[in-house]
């Protein structure tokens, strides 16, 4: 349950084995490549000055970036076009992963199939365009009862006739200005959410009518001359033409199907080979090459080095592998972060990724956040029945959608909700059902004492919530101290507001508040006051004090006056933060009470209805609304507490995810 240790890998191999090596690296899925050219330039790519590495070291002076094969770009476009025409599923067949291929042969194969299918493709495209136009003309169906010959209408000497479409927005603008349009406007019907109009205007006003129609983006519908007749006859001709076109398209599809049966396997092979080559090209863009060697750099998890060495052992002395610790890397390239958590907490990595990955030097917050989030969600949404529904929803996501992380998260918070639901004696909003079953049916008498019904213990719930918040905040201080001291940040780790001094101040303030309410102090008030003053002074002088301890100069990174003014404001912010962070957790108890209150409202409505059907309806509606609305709100509030109250203490989330090279379909 930590962040995987990383190693910087430098690899040198003979240029002839480059493709083979890259395929093995991609198949292992455990190496994140870096730009080798940059690493060599920054002196991070190192080889021992040894006799056996003489050629490789000498060749380092002649490195250059690898160039992509331009021919594959055109082949990729062509093969994707063929895949679309034949409606083949775009997936890489792994049986072609190790296939040796010739660029010219693949290009010839694709060109031959395209040439054979060119006529079908062109005709299909043309027919689809015609079909689109004819479907648009079917709107004439709305005026089929008008016995007028449109061949004559569209060839009048005195009038111009226009048939066209308007969007709903432009239709409103058009209808508001009917009185300004020097034309007869007739609404014909609708087509694809647009209104169709027939506009008849005198030729002498043609210029003005055209200007108005353009202003509302009137889309002209052109009727081919061969269809011009009465609306009834036009519809007959249009439908006949549509039927003929559809039949022809079906015929062409069957022909394409024959080609699919004939060339399908070959096309899939070409597609797979080209996609594999595109993946290799992506990797090669990060590789430096010479005439004889290739140079590769990247990150690899320490525990997976043996797998890589075993896979590349077939190249013998023709392969040089050098691994360096993160501390040996000279450049400012940050090592990537790979989270490694147990099955219980792994789904909660999704919450960490939403906020930001931890940096390589930070502690992995996943286990702590996983436990805390389950605790908070269960406490705010405690219901045995509804928790079970959430649990089932999570399992369904895993089984049906393969959403392991999202489904795992839901199933775990569902279980937490069930546990707190048992404690709260709540089952689908009904209280005392669980306790009656346990005490009366199972005859476990002492069990009655373990139930904590929120509505009967309002003050207790709110106090427990604040107490829980204090414990979690103290834990966050501990994590902050660990992170800061691990990164050798003495100023913040020891003297900062989230460091050791800040923790002492927070605990002392809690003791003061507790003592003032209970009139009981674990230390005399004067001692507590002295501790507060000392911690405040240490927080104010944290930077110069830390610089003195580490013998760093200058003591201030800015003028002393500016520093102390800023520190004064920071103290005020610290006090307000400690107060707001602690009180913020009162929402945990408030939502537990809110959950009960909502169901009381639904039960009251059911009683007012006074029928069995009403009670059942309110039971169903109430549970659905609470699950959907309150469940979502509680989910968000839990995130808020984790992100703003806890993460703000110890977590930065500015890390870089580990993204190994894997075989994937390009977009």
Average pLDDT over residues 66-70: 60
Dist. CA 154–CA 571, nearest whole Å: 83
Mean pLDDT, rounded, of the chain: 83
3-class state of residue 663 by DSSP: coil
Q: Which of 356-370, 436-450, 599-613 has the highest mean pLDDT?
A: 356-370
Q: Which of 284-288, 364-368, 615-619 has the highest mean pLDDT?
A: 364-368
Name the strand (E) or helix (H) holding 192: none
Residue burial 298-308, b: 16+ Cβ < 10 Å; e: rest: bbbbeebeeeb
Q: Which residues contact 623 (CB under 8 A, 6 or more apart)?
A: 385, 386, 428, 429
Token pair, residue 555, equals: 């003591």
Give the largest CA-CA distance in the chain.
Answer: 108
pLDDT at 620 over 60: yes
Least confident of 59-73, 102-116, 193-207: 59-73
Angle value at C-alpha 506, between 502 and 509, nearest 5 degrees: 135
Token pair, residue 416, equals: 């937490």
Where do the CATH 3.30.70.100 domains begin and end in the chain? 136-245
- Match domain 136-245 to its CATH number in 3.30.70.100, 3.30.70.870, 3.40.1160.10, 3.30.70.360: 3.30.70.100
Average pLDDT over residues 156-183: 78
pLDDT at 58: 43
pLDDT tens per residue across span 453-473: 888 889 999 999 999 999 999
End-to-end Cα distance, the chain = 35
Average pLDDT over residues 552-574: 80
pLDDT at 69: 61
Average pLDDT over residues 528-535: 89
pLDDT tens per residue across span 71-115: 667 788 888 877 877 778 888 888 878 777 777 778 888 888 878
Dist. CA 85–CA 468, nearest whole Å: 62
165 touches 191 (CB < 8 A): yes
Where do the CATH 3.30.70.120 domains begin and end in the chain? 2-66+285-339
Residue 380 pLDDT class (50, 70, 90 cuts): very high
pLDDT tens per residue across span 249-289: 888 878 777 778 888 888 888 888 888 888 888 888 888 88
pLDDT at 405 over 80: yes
HEC string of 503-521? HHHHHHHHHHHHHHHHCCC
Q: Which of 140-144, 213-217, 339-343 has the highest mean pLDDT?
A: 339-343
Q: Which CATH class is domain 2-66+285-339?
A: alpha beta
pLDDT at 351: 92
470 touches 510 (CB < 8 A): yes
633 or 222: which leads in pLDDT: 633
502 touches 477 (CB < 8 A): yes
Angle value at C-alpha 234, between 231 and 237, nearest 5 degrees: 155
Token pair, residue 396, equals: 């369904």
Least confident of 143-147, 207-211, 595-599: 143-147
pLDDT at 62 over 70: no
pLDDT at 637 over 90: yes
Dist. CA 3–CA 655, nearest whole Å: 11
pLDDT at 386: 93
Which of 398, 504, 486 minimizes the C-alpha distance to 512? 504
pLDDT tens per residue across span 473-519: 999 999 999 988 888 888 888 888 888 999 999 999 988 888 887 77
pLDDT at 70: 59
Dist. CA 295–CA 12, nearest whole Å: 5
Name the strand (E) or helix (H) holding 199: strand 194-202
Q: Which of 198-202, 318-322, 347-351, 647-651 has the highest mean pLDDT?
A: 347-351
Dist. CA 120–CA 257, nearest whole Å: 11
What share of the chain in percent tops pLDDT 90? 22
């Amino acid at each position: 349950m930590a962040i995987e240790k990383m190693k910087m890998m430098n690899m040198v191999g003979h240029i002839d084995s480059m493709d083979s090596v890259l395929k093995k690296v991609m198949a292992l899925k455990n190496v994140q490549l870096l730009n080798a050219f940059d690493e060599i330039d920054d002196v991070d790519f190192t080889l021992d000055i040894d006799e056996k590495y003489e050629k490789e070291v000498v060749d380092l002076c002649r490195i250059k970036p690898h160039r992509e094969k331009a021919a594959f770009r055109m082949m990729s476009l062509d093969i994707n076009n063929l895949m679309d025409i034949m409606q083949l599923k775009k997936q890489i067949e792994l049986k072609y992963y190790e296939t040796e291929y010739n660029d010219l042969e693949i290009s010839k194969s694709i060109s031959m199939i395209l040439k054979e299918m060119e006529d079908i493709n062109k005709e299909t495209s043309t027919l689809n365009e015609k079909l689109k136009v004819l479907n648009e003309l079917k709107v004439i169906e709305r005026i089929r009862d008008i016995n007028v010959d449109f061949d004559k209408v569209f060839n009048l000497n005195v009038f111009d006739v226009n048939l066209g479409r308007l969007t709903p927005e432009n239709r409103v603008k058009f209808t508001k200005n009917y009185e300004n349009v020097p034309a007869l406007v007739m609404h014909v019907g609708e087509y694809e959410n647009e209104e169709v109009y027939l506009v008849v205007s005198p030729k002498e006003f043609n210029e003005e009518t055209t200007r108005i129609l353009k202003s509302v983006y009137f889309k002209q519908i052109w009727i081919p001359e061969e269809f011009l007749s009465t609306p009834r006859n036009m519809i007959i001709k249009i439908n006949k033409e549509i039927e003929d076109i559809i039949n022809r398209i079906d015929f062409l599809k069957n022909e394409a199907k024959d080609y699919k049966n004939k060339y399908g396997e070959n096309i899939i092979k070409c597609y797979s080979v080209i996609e594999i080559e595109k993946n290799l090209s992506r990797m090669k863009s990060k590789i430096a090459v010479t005439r004889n060697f290739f140079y590769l750099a990247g990150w690899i998890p320490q525990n997976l080095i043996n797998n890589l060495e075993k896979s590349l052992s077939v190249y013998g002395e023709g392969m040089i592998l050098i691994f360096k610790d993160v501390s040996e890397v000279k450049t400012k390239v940050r090592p990537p972060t790979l989270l490694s958590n147990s099955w219980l907490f792994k789904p909660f990595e999704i919450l960490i990724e939403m906020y930001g990955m931890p940096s390589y030097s930070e502690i992995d917050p996943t286990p702590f956040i996983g436990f805390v989030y389950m605790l908070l969600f269960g406490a705010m949404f405690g219901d045995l029945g509804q928790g079970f529904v959430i649990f089932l929803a999570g399992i369904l996501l895993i089984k049906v959608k393969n959403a392991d992380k999202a489904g795992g998260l839901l199933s775990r918070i569902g279980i937490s909700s069930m546990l707190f639901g048992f404690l709260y004696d709540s089952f689908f909003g009904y209280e005392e059902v669980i306790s009656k079953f346990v005490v009366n049916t199972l005859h476990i008498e002492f069990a009655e004492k373990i139930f904590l019904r929120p509505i009967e213990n309002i003050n207790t719930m709110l106090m427990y919530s604040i107490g829980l918040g204090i414990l979690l905040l103290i834990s966050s201080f501990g994590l902050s101290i660990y992170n800061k001291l691990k990164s050798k940040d003495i100023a913040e780790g020891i003297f900062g507001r989230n460091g050791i001094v800040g923790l002492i101040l927070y605990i002392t303030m809690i003791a003061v508040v507790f003592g003032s309410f209970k009139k009981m102090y674990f230390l005399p008030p004067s001692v507590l006051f002295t501790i507060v003053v000392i911690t405040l002074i240490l927080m104010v002088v944290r930077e110069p004090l830390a610089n003195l301890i580490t013998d760093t100069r200058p003591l201030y990174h800015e003028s002393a006056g500016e520093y102390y003014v800023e520190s004064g404001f920071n103290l005020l912010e610290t006090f307000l933060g400690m107060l707001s962070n602690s009180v913020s957790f009162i929402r945990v108890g408030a939502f537990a009470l809110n959950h009960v209150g909502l169901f009381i409202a639904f039960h009251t409505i059911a009683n007012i209805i006074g029928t069995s059907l009403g009670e059942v309806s309110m039971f169903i509606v109430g549970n659905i609304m609470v699950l959907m609305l309150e469940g979502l709100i509680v989910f968000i509030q839990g995130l808020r507490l984790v992100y703003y109250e806890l993460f703000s203490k110890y977590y930065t989330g500015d890390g870089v995810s580990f993204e190994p090279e894997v075989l994937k379909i390009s977009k």
